[in-house]
Amino acid sequence: MVDEVYTIEIVGNLAVKVQARLETLGYHNVFVLHGDGMLGWTEKALFDGIIVTAAGIAIPQHLVDQLKPGGRLVMPVGGDDEVQQLKTLTKRQGGALIEVNILPVRFVPITDEIR
């Protein structure tokens, strides 16, 4: 479906285990970084798509900056004590952003504690 996938895991030992498991299963085009996903992966940007799997108060500018024109970001947005909104953010040619609320959701909150 895609040439390469880049994923970021904040828990160090989990990042190592995931990379090893993916390689064992024959996925040689999926790359795992131990780090803070809210900072993105600057060295590999620009991305056609970014999927965030934990809720934050807002969409981080770091991720918006790493999105290719024509690309789309999907992320749950809202506090951990409230119903969040699953949002899509599409970056148009020229940099204009189109944000759409898709549906109410409940995701675990983003953590910035690298372990």
Q: Are residues 25 and 49 in the same domain?
A: no
C-alpha to C-alpha distance for 29 and 11, rounded to whole angstroms: 21
- Same domain for 59 and 15: no
- In a shared domain, residues 88 and 70: yes
Q: How confident is the model at residue 106 (pLDDT cuts 50, 70, 90)?
A: very high
- Nearest-angstrom CA–CA distance, 93 and 36: 28
Same domain for 51 and 27, yes or no, is no
Stretch 61-72: mean pLDDT: 97
CA distance linking residue 60 with residue 112, whole number of Å:
12
Q: Is residue 84 part of a domain?
A: yes
pTM (2 d.p.): 0.89
**How many domains is the chain built from?**
2
The range of the structural domain enclosing residue 88 comes to 45-108
Which pLDDT belongs to residue 1? Answer: 77
- Say if 40 falls within a structural domain: no
The CA R_g of the chain, rounded to the nearest whole Å, is 15
